[in-house]
Amino acid sequence: MRFAFFGDVVGRSGRRAITKYVPRLREDLNLDAVVINGENAANGFGITERTANELYEAGADVITLGNHSFDNPGALTFIERETRLLRPVNYPPGTAPGLGVNVYDIGTYKFMVVNVLGRVFMDALDDPFLAIGEALDNCPLIDVADAILVDIHAEATSEKNAMGHFCDGRASLVVGTHQHVPSADTRILPNGTAYQSDAGMCGDYGGVIGMDKEEPMRRFTTRMRGGRFTPGTDEGTVCGVFVETDNKTGLAVRAEPIRVGALLQTTIPTL
């Protein structure tokens, strides 16, 4: 199975970049599935039904979220109707609508996707390792799912790295989101799980992690607020990771970064 994961979509620039590049990447890489983190898709904070549909129309099979899952109130009801939209699985029971994990029929494959929120330097939810352990126990690789993707939305690379090793041999890919900067550590762990600490964002890299640079710079240099953060509007770059799995084991045999767009050096796997 071949699939790709694309990192946090930030505002209109990110959505336009997804629309511009993902359909061609899906074709050129012969992808069976595409997963996109969309927690910043709507004006940089949260997601709406309209912005989610833009990502689905561009080729997303599943959208994951993060700490901004419900910044737009409409997401509270949309997520109850849309099983392809996942919020972190480790919300305390009964506190959040929607699903945190699901198994999808993707052509001839069954593809499990799970979204989890880290706790280091974040608003802490329930134990992410316990939640992921339960999800993997309930849906063993190959027995239930042909491939498994874990999106850990977290601040600390150490926590993401630990999650990779925790899932090694039980998931096809563990990939980090939230930091908006692609990490250079794409690899396959010893027991066959592909890993990247952060997929990077899909958005305008000319500002500060996807936002227009003026307000972040003001706050850093003066400690004063001049307004709210607004997403950058220049041409965006798409960042993510490509994974190919062994159909007999569900484990990764290939993992490579994807970067294509306005500013970062282009990196596209070749078949």
Do residues 152 and 128 lie in contact, with contact meaning Cβ atoms separated by under 8 Å? yes
Q: HSE, CB side, 13 Å, CA atoms: give it for residue 233.
A: 3
Residue length of the chain: 271
| Catalytic (active site) residue 178 | no
Give the tokens for residue 236. Answer: 């965006």
Single-letter residue type at 193: T
In order of 24, 210, 221, the CA distances from 15 in angstroms are: 15, 12, 30
Identify the helix (H) or strand (E) that includes residue 161.
Answer: helix 157-167
Closest CA to 177 of 148, 153, 156: 153
In order of 189, 202, 271, the CA distances from 177 in angstroms are: 18, 11, 26
**Burial class of residue 219 in the structure, from the number of CB atoms within 10 Å of its CB (0-12 exposed, 13-18 middle, 19+ buried):** middle
Of the residues 68, 153, 178, 180, only one is catalytic, namely 68
User: Annotated catalytic sites, by residue?
Assistant: 68
